[in-house]
Structure 1
Amino acid sequence: MNPLQAALAGITHDNPRHRDLAVEYLADLLGRAVLNEADAETAVSRLVALLTTETDPSVQEAALNAISEAFGPYCFSLQLFEPLRALLGAMPPTLLDYALMILACTHDPDARPTIETFLDHPNAAVRASAAEALTELPGRTIP
């Protein structure tokens, strides 16, 4: 079993600490860009799927962080994050910060309406995260 397969197997473990360690290892693989595009997309897809069932807040945050790390070296479509969009309304502010930026980093204009709904959130930090995500959404231009 290669390291990616081991980490992907680890995120399904019964013990949340074991899942957290596996997610952190995936974050390392993604952040160091040692995976090819297909493997990176598989890893991120599995992390998104994990978020749909994960109840441990530490594992949730680690998974969102791992996905965020992947955007440095890799590009992903908004479609990959459709399951994440459905979870936004129930996320605490600390996780929304990650999730909104993940949607923005796809640079897909179709993410705008989802992000904009959080501009009126009761939490000031979430409103600021949404505003920052909208700034990131179009992508950066190189002078």
Structure 2
Amino acid sequence: MDGYQGLTALIESAWEELNASDAGRRDLCLDVVSDVLETGRLTPDDAERAVGHLVTVALSDESYPVRESALHAACTASTHYELPYRVVEPLAVGANGFEPLLLDYVLTILGSTHDQAALPIVERFLHHPHPEVREEAAEAVNELRWSQKPTETAQ
């Protein structure tokens, strides 16, 4: 087994164990996934699949620490891979259901997509009651606006 196969095997093993474990063990499984994503050595397709799975866990797990670990791992991926908005869009749809600390992760992830489709969702949080969320929303808006490509003029 080469290094790449070892990384993908680690992720697959983590997904399998994630389905049948207690919250503490699920949290550790997500740490493994985060560590693999941090290497930056997965293909874009494998990274997108992993992040898609993390998004599902973040939206569905009943354990706060597990959801936080899933979002942390997705944030880690967003610093090493260019994630398309479509992969993380379910986070935008479910953003109102996250606690403030978890919402910070969501806003960071959405901003890192550099996709203008995320801008209206992120802008909603500029007036959030928690100052940390407002600050993260402002940073995400800045990142999205900075990455906005000028419109091409017709010739």
Instruction: Specify if TM > 0.5.
Output: yes
Q: 1:81·1:103 contact (CA, 8 Å) conserved in 2? A: yes
Structure 1 counterpart of 2:88: 81
Aligned equivalent of 1:32, options 35, 39, 45: 39
What is the alpha-carbon distance in structure 2 between the residues aligned to residue 47 and residue 133 of structure 1? 20
Secondary structure, counterpart of 1:8 in structure 2: helix
CA RMSD of aligned residues (A): 1.6
Secondary structure, counterpart of 2:111 in structure 1: helix
Secondary structure, counterpart of 1:76 in structure 2: coil
Q: Which runs of 4+ in 1 moved over 6 A?
A: none
Identity %: 36
Given residue 5 of structure 1, which amino acid in structure 2 is its aligned partner?
E
Aligned equivalent of 2:99, options 92, 100, 104: 92
Structure 2 counterpart of 1:68: 75
Q: What displacement does 1:139 show?
A: 3.6
Q: What displacement does 1:85 show?
A: 1.4
Alignment of structure 1 residues 19-58 onto 2, 5 Å: 19-58=26-65
Secondary structure, counterpart of 2:66 in structure 1: helix
Q: What displacement does 1:132 show?
A: 1.0
TM-score, normalised by the number of residues in structure 1: 0.91
Q: Give the number of aligned pairs.
A: 140
Given residue 23 of structure 1, which amino acid in structure 2 is its aligned partner?
L
Given residue 46 of structure 1, which amino acid in structure 2 is its aligned partner?
H
Q: 2:108·2:140 contact (CA, 8 Å) conserved in 1? A: yes
Residue ranges of structure 2 left out of the alignment (5+ in a row): 1-7, 149-155
Residue ranges of structure 1 left out of the alignment (5+ in a row): none
Q: What displacement does 1:34 show?
A: 2.6
